[in-house]
Each structure stands twice: as structure tokens, then as C-alpha cells.
């Protein structure tokens, strides 16, 4: 179980997160929706301390970190329990797909090379890239690169995978393959938080949907409730706008 | 000046000069290796924004990039011993070569530090975040992710520094260092065939430069194999004109 309590974060004078509470149960797939600038990505990055929260607490199972007192060791432990998939993939450009996935296993988890290789191959096969093991990222399409990114996260066997707008940088025709992979691993009971703009995907795959605006959680609940009968006016407005966008035809 | 031009002297001088090539190469190698260390040390305060040291490194770099290497040689060879005498260290027994290497190390260090700074900046921040996210420490992220890419990116600039350095070592003869150019002076004086000796000398510099250039190109192609547009080996036809017309640039200036 992942529990965030009172997470606050400011950049200079601008308060981006104004005290966020969020609980994610084991096996949950949580989708975070919201307009740009609402703090979704910042919240995600606070969980693994890519941004240091100004206040609040991050807890993964029994392991609790008070953001005001987090030591280097605490942050290291948090990062080992989590994995992240980035909007821009952020693959290591000088390493092959296989090496990208093995890197964390060998360097951080200190597994023997042979074992790491086995796990990495398994993860890459799971995302459908068993035939691209030795390709460098520059020779892969955006969708394939993002799938390597997912395999890199998956192989670490983390408590939770954090997806930061995993399809936003992709060409429309490549979005499907990445969503299909995320859907597949969601079906295997891996806990994940997904910041996304893909409404239909969130509705289908998420077990819990959170709507954020202006640094606060406006509303949360199961997808049928949040999409079907939203309680808050701001949620309704947002959904109306987003759903209108889909109905454009060219 | 001197005697009538005789072609045979060119061939005669080449092996005599080649005997001193190793000293020239030694100066280059030693000063570049030292320069790498200096360059990294000098680049760090600017990359990590350390207040006072940052200023010092800026001053150092602009001084060594902004003054002629010949003047730097004189300043260090004649000035440094005076300075050290003030704190009662006697360097009169230190060989000329040490001063030469020291000067060239400081000189190339300035260019190399700029190259390192630019190259490290060129590795995108996202990869570092990805390294942190999988649990790497700052040191691991730097040595395993940033550095290998930075080295590959800075290789062309580094190659220019090395080749510029090779040619600059010819100035060491002004301090009486007996490297290739120094030897050519004495050969010229004793035989009075100056033109021939300079032709031989320039041939050797040229060939060594071309060989270095080619080696760096190979290394670059290997290190940047993850970038398809550079990794794919161009056909021989395209290679040949480049071999005949190498492009020499003064080190680091495009960084």
C-alpha cells in the first residue's frame, strides 16, 4: 500500500501542490487526470523524490519517509521500491535495449550479470521486444522506446510503477501499442499510478481515478462514478472539454 | 640563405628528425593526459556552480585561451622559477621538458575543460533522472550514464586539441627543448640546407597529424555507434578525399 499524506511542493513562490492525500492499495491502477499545470506530474515525481516535497509524508508499506527529514538513504530506499516510466522515455542512449533494462539490475540490485540478463530478456519479451534486444534506442520507434522504458521499470520488480504521461510524446499511431502493454501488465496485478490524458484508457484500465486541479485533489473514485456521475463542477467541466476534443473529426 | 636546394637532403633529414619524434609525441601525450586531469578539475566548479572556485576557473580558462602559447611558455619557463624562489624552492635543476609539458598541460587543460563542460551539458537531464529513478547514486549516474556519452560527444573537440597541441609543441624549441623542431634548427644550421629541413619537418608533422586524425575518427565512430547517422561506416569513396584533405581546426574553438 502506498500512502501519501499532506504532500506540499512549491517552486519559488508558486505553490504547485497544496497538500495532497492519496492512498493506493496493492494491485490498484490509479489514473491521475487533470488540466496541464494542475500538479499531476509534480505529485508523481514527489513519490520517488525527483522533486523533493516541502512537506508531507510518503509511505510504501511500512516504510515511511517524512519529507522534511528525508535522508539520502531514505530517498535511495524509496527509489528502489518504485520505478518510473517517463514521458520522453529517457532511455540511456549509449546502451542497447537489453543493457538499458539490465543497468538497474546489475548496478543497483547487484544481481549477477547472467541472472540480470535473464530477467531483462523476460521483461523485454513481455513488452513484445524480444527481437530488439541489441538495438540502440536511436534505432527504435517512439513506441518501441517507450516499451523498453516500461520493461526497464518492470524488470526491477518494484512495489509500484509510476507512469508520467507515457503516451504524450508519441505519434498517434504509436499510442495504441504502448497502452496495450500497460493494459497487459495492469492485468497482472502490478500496482501503478498513471498520469495521463488518455480518457478512454483511464476509464477502461484504471481501478481508481483521481482528478486534480490547481494543486489539490478535486475528486476521486472508481472510473464509472467519476466519468459517469462526477460530483464536482470542475470535474464536469474538465470531462466535458476533454470529451469534446475526442469528437473532432478531420 | 644557405646552400642551393638539393632534394636528396629532404630524404636524408627525415630519419634524422624521426629520431626526435618520440620526444614530440611524449610532450603531446604527457600534456594531454595532464590536461585531461586539469580540465576535469577546472570544469567541475563550473558544472556544480561552486562560488569562488567557479570564478577562478573562468579566469584560468580565459587566460590560457586568450594569450599566445609562446608567451605562456616564456611566462612559465622564466617567471615560475622566480616566483618559486620567493618561497625558497629551487627549480633550476628541473629539465626544460618539464616546463614545456607543464605549460602545454595548462594550455590544453583550458580547452579540455570547456569541451567537458559543453559535453556534459549535452547529455540530457532526463537520462540522469532515469538513473536516479532506478536507484543509482549521483556518482553512479555520472560515471555510468553521463560520462561515457560526454566523452563520445567531446571526442572531436578533443581530437582538435591533441592535433593543435602536436603542432604547438614546435614552439618548445624556443626554450631550447630538443624535440623535432629543435633538432631541425640544428640540422639546418650545420648543413645550411634550411628549406630541405623544413620540408622534411612539415612532412612529418603532416603525416602524424593525418594518422592522429584518422585514429580519432575511428574511435569516434566506435564510441558513437549508438547514433545511427555516425555509426554507419561511409563508403571508401567518401573516405578517401577526407583522408587527403584533413581539416585542422584550432582545438576547442567550436565547443
- pLDDT at residue A245 greater than cutoff 60: yes
Find the CB nearest B135 among A86, A88, A108: A108
What pLDDT is stored for residue B11 in this prediction? 87
Closest CA to B184 of B18, B64, B56: B18
- pLDDT at residue A57 greater than cutoff 70: yes
CA torsion sign for A195, A200, A201, A206 is positive
Closest CA to A146 of B98, B130, B94: B130
User: Cβ–Cβ of B130/A91 closer than 8 Å?
Assistant: yes
User: Cβ–Cβ of B228/A139 closer than 8 Å?
Assistant: yes
Confirm or reject contact between B155 and chain A (CB < 8 A).
no
Beta strands in A12-137 (DSSP E): 14-24, 29-33, 55-60, 63-66, 82-85
What pLDDT is stored for residue A181 in this prediction? 93
Number of domains in chain B: 1
Nearest 5°: phi and psi at A129?
-120, 30
Domain coordinates in residue numbering, chain A: 2-246
CATH topology for the A2-246 domain? Rossmann fold (3.40.50)
Q: What is the DSSP letter of B234?
A: P
- pLDDT at residue A129 greater than cutoff 60: yes
Q: How far apart are CA B25 and CA B18, in angstroms?
A: 11
Residues of B in contact with A107 (CB under 8 A): 136, 140, 144
Q: Quick check: is B28 in a domain? A: yes
User: Cβ–Cβ of A152/B134 closer than 8 Å?
Assistant: yes
Percent of chain A with pLDDT over 90: 81
Closest CA to B17 of B234, B237, B184: B184
Q: How many helices and strands, by DSSP H and E, does chain A display?
A: 9, 10
Please name the residues in contact with B43: beta carbons below 8 A apart, sequence gap of 6 or more.
B57, B112, B113, B114, B116, B117, B120
Report ipTM for this prediction. 0.92
Q: Quick check: is B111 in a domain? A: yes
Find the DSSP H helices in chain B.
7-18, 21-47, 51-66, 69-74, 80-86, 96-122, 125-133, 138-140, 147-168, 180-191, 194-223, 228-231, 236-244
Local confidence band at A246 (pLDDT 50, 70, 90 cut-offs):
low
Q: How far apart are CA B158 and CA B39, in angstroms?
A: 11
- pLDDT at residue A248 greater than cutoff 80: no
Q: Quick check: is B224 in a domain? A: no
Q: How far apart are CA A5 and CA B222, in angstroms?
A: 50
* Helix, coil or strand: residue A39: coil
Q: How many CB atoms lie within 10 A of CB B228?
A: 11
Distance from the Cα of A154 to chain B's closest Cα (Å) equals 11
Confirm or reject contact between B131 and chain A (CB < 8 A).
yes
**Residue carrying C-alpha cell 624549441:** B173
Question: What cell numbers appear for A147 in the block?
Answer: 516499451
User: What residues of chain B score a pLDDT lower than 50?
Assistant: 231-246, 252-255
In this predicted model, what pLDDT tens digit does every residue of A151-185 receive, in sequence order?
A: 999 999 999 999 999 999 899 889 999 999 999 99
What pLDDT is stored for residue B35 in this prediction? 94
Give the pLDDT mean for A198-212.
Answer: 92
- For chain A, give the mean pLDDT: 92
Q: How far apart are CA A87 and CA A84, in angstroms?
A: 10
Please name the residues in contact with A46: beta carbons below 8 A apart, sequence gap of 6 or more.
A4, A7, A9, A17, A52, A53, A56, A58, A67
Residues of A in contact with B130 (CB under 8 A): 84, 86, 90-92, 152
Adjacent-strand bridge partners of A14: A11
CB B1, CB B194: distance < 8 Å: yes
Q: How far apart are CA A99 and CA B131, in angstroms?
A: 13
Half-sphere exposure of B104 (CA within 13 A, CB side): 29
What pLDDT is stored for residue A147 in this prediction? 96
Please name the residues in contact with A9: beta carbons below 8 A apart, sequence gap of 6 or more.
A15, A16, A17, A39, A42, A43, A46, A51, A52, A53, A54
B54-88 burial string, b = 16+ CB within 10 Å, else e? beebeebbeebbeeebeebbeebbeebeeeeeeee
Q: How far apart are CA A76 and CA A57, in angstroms?
A: 16
Alpha-carbon distances of A206 from A199, B3, B161, rounded to whole Å? 10, 92, 56
Q: How far is CA B221 from the centre of its chain?
A: 20
Closest CA to B105 of B178, B167, B30, B209: B30
What pLDDT is stored for residue B233 in this prediction? 46
What pLDDT is stored for residue B82 in this prediction? 87
Query: How is the beta sheet containing A216-221 ordered, strand by strand?
Result: A82-85, A160-164, A192-195, A29-33, A208-213, A216-221
Give residue B164's domain range: 22-188
Q: What is the DSSP letter of A131?
A: T
Which CATH number characterizes residue B179's domain?
A: 1.10.3720.10
- pLDDT at residue A31 greater than cutoff 70: yes
Find the CB nearest A94 among B124, B148, B228: B148
- A21-60 residues touching B, CB cutoff 8 A: 48, 50
Burial of A8 from C-beta contacts in 10 A (0-12 / 13-18 / 19+):
middle
What pLDDT is stored for residue B250 in this prediction? 52
Residues of A in contact with B144 (CB under 8 A): 103, 107
Amino acid at each position: 500500500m502506498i500512502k501519501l499524506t499532506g504532500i506540499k511542493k512549491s517552486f519559488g513562490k508558486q505553490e504547485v501542490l497544496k497538500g495532497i492525500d492519496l492512498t493506493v492499495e496493492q494491485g490498484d491502477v490509479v489514473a491521475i487526470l487533470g488540466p496541464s499545470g494542475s500538479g499531476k506530474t509534480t505529485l508523481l515525481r514527489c513519490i520517488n523524490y525527483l522533486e523533493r516535497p516541502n512537506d508531507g509524508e510518503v509511505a510504501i508499506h511500512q516504510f515511511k519517509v517524512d519529507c522534511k527529514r528525508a535522508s539520502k538513504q531514505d530517498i535511495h530506499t524509496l527509489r528502489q521500491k518504485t520505478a518510473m516510466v517517463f514521458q520522453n522515455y529517457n532511455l540511456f542512449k549509449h546502451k542497447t535495449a537489453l543493457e538499458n533494462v539490465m543497468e538497474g539490475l546489475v548496478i543497483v540490485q547487484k544481481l549477477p550479470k547472467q541472472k540480470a540478463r535473464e530477467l531483462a530478456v523476460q521483461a523485454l519479451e513481455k513488452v513484445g521486444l524480444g527481437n530488439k534486444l541489441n538495438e540502440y534506442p536511436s534505432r527504435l520507434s517512439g513506441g518501441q522506446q517507450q516499451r523498453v522504458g516500461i520493461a526497464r521499470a518492470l524488470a526491477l520488480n518494484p512495489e509500484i510503477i509510476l507512469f508520467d504521461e507515457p503516451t504524450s510524446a508519441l505519434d498517434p499511431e504509436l499510442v495504441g501499442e504502448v497502452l496495450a502493454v500497460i493494459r497487459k501488465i495492469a492485468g497482472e496485478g502490478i500496482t501503478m499510478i498513471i498520469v495521463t490524458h488518455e480518457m478512454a484508457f483511464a476509464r477502461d484500465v484504471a481501478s481508481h481515478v483521481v482528478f486534480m486541479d490547481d494543486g489539490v485533489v478535486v475528486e476521486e473514485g472508481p472510473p464509472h462514478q467519476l466519468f459517469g456521475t462526477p460530483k464536482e463542477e470542475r470535474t464536469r467541466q474538465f470531462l466535458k472539454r476533454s470529451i469534446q476534443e475526442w469528437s473532432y473529426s478531420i | 640563405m644557405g646552400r642551393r636546394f638539393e632534394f636528396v637532403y629532404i630524404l636524408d633529414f627525415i630519419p634524422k628528425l624521426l629520431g626526435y619524434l618520440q620526444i614530440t609525441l611524449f610532450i603531446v601525450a604527457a600534456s594531454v593526459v595532464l590536461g585531461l586531469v586539469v580540465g576535469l578539475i577546472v570544469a567541475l566548479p563550473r558544472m556544480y556552480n561552486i562560488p569562488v572556485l567557479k570564478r577562478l576557473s573562468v579566469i584560468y580558462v580565459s587566460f590560457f585561451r586568450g594569450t599566445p602559447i609562446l608567451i605562456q611558455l616564456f611566462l612559465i619557463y622564466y617567471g615560475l622559477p622566480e616566483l618559486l624562489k620567493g618561497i625558497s624552492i629551487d627549480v633550476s635543476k628541473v629539465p626544460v621538458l618539464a616546463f614545456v609539458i607543464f605549460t602545454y598541460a595548462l594550455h590544453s587543460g583550458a580547452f579540455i575543460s570547456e569541451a567537458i563542460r559543453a559535453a556534459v551539458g549535452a547529455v540530457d537531464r532526463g537520462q540522469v533522472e532515469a538513473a536516479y529513478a532506478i536507484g543509482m547514486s549521483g556518482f553512479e549516474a555520472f560515471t555510468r550514464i553521463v560520462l561515457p556519452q560526454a566523452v563520445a560527444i567531446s571526442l572531436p573537440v578533443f581530437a582538435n586539441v591533441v592535433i593543435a597541441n602536436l603542432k604547438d609543441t614546435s614552439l618548445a624549441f624556443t626554450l631550447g627543448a630538443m624535440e623535432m623542431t629543435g633538432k631541425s634548427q640544428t640540422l639546418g644550421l650545420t648543413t645550411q640546407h634550411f628549406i630541405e629541413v623544413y620540408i622534411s619537418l612539415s612532412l612529418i608533422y603532416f603525416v602524424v597529424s593525418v594518422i592522429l586524425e584518422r585514429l580519432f575518427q575511428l574511435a569516434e565512430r566506435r564510441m558513437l555507434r549508438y547514433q545511427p547517422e555516425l555509426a554507419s561506416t561511409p563508403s571508401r569513396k567518401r573516405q578517401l578525399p577526407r583522408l587527403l584533405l584533413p581539416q585542422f581546426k584550432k582545438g576547442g574553438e567550436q565547443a
